[in-house]
Amino acid sequence: MFLVGPMGAGKTTIGKLLAKQLGRPFVDSDWYIESQTGADIAWIFAKEGEAGFRERETRAIDELTQQPQIILATGGGAVMCAENRAFLKQRGIVVYLNAAVDVQLARTAKDKSRPLLQQPNPRKILQDLYSTRDPLYRQVAHIIMPTGHTYPRHMVNQLLQQLQSFGLSTVIAPEHKS
């Protein structure tokens, strides 16, 4: 199951919680890229530019979407690349976590780890990215979920209900088996 959506939609937060609930492995593609590179996202953008980061991201998405059982949180720009969109759409269930620009802005304001938002007018950047990317998120998504006013735990419950129709079942932890 793969999460897509804009910065601040909650992909990392919801993905981690959902994986715990389902007893499945969780990977965030940004964290994976950082561990493979030995450097953080800001450093990669500074040294290799966005193009360098996107190359690393495509390699990561290709590898991670082939891992069985994975709950994958992608970065907000993953859908910009057609190859990534194909990997996502063809290899699993894709959930688009949708959030209004105001919500994205509030949730990302204090965090300096997103290089694209370290500009004088992050609202305008988020608006422009949303215009370009929203149709692409919709193109790859099997499920679309608004996240604006819902607590993460509640989001996970809603998502689990939606996922049931796709046949995604929970893994019963050994200590709970009879």
Ligand X SMILES: Nc1ncnc2c1ncn2[C@@H]1O[C@H](COP(=O)(O)OP(=O)(O)O)[C@@H](O)[C@H]1O
Ligand Y SMILES: O=C(O)C1=C[C@@H](OP(=O)(O)O)[C@@H](O)[C@H](O)C1
Q: Please give the Cα distance from 150 to 50 (Å, whole number).
A: 32
> What backbone torsions phi and psi does residue 5 show, to the nearest 5 degrees?
145, 170
Nearest approach, Cβ of residue 28 and ligand Y (Å): 7
User: What radius of gyration do the chain's Cα atoms show?
Assistant: 16
**Residue 41 contact partner, candidates ligand Y, ligand X, Mg ion, none, CB within 5 to 8 A by sort of partner:** ligand Y
Site string for ligand Y, 69-88 (x = CB under 6 A): ------xxx-----------
Q: Which of 2, 3, 12, 89 binds Mg ion (CB under 5 A)?
A: 12
**Residue 60 contact partner, candidates ligand X, Mg ion, ligand Y, none, CB within 5 to 8 A by sort of partner:** none
Smaller CB distance to ligand X: residue 110 or 176? 110
Sheet (strand 26-28) strand order: 26-28, 71-73, 2-4, 94-98, 143-146
Question: Tokens standing for 30?
Answer: 């940004």
Residues that bind Mg ion (CB under 5 A): 11-12
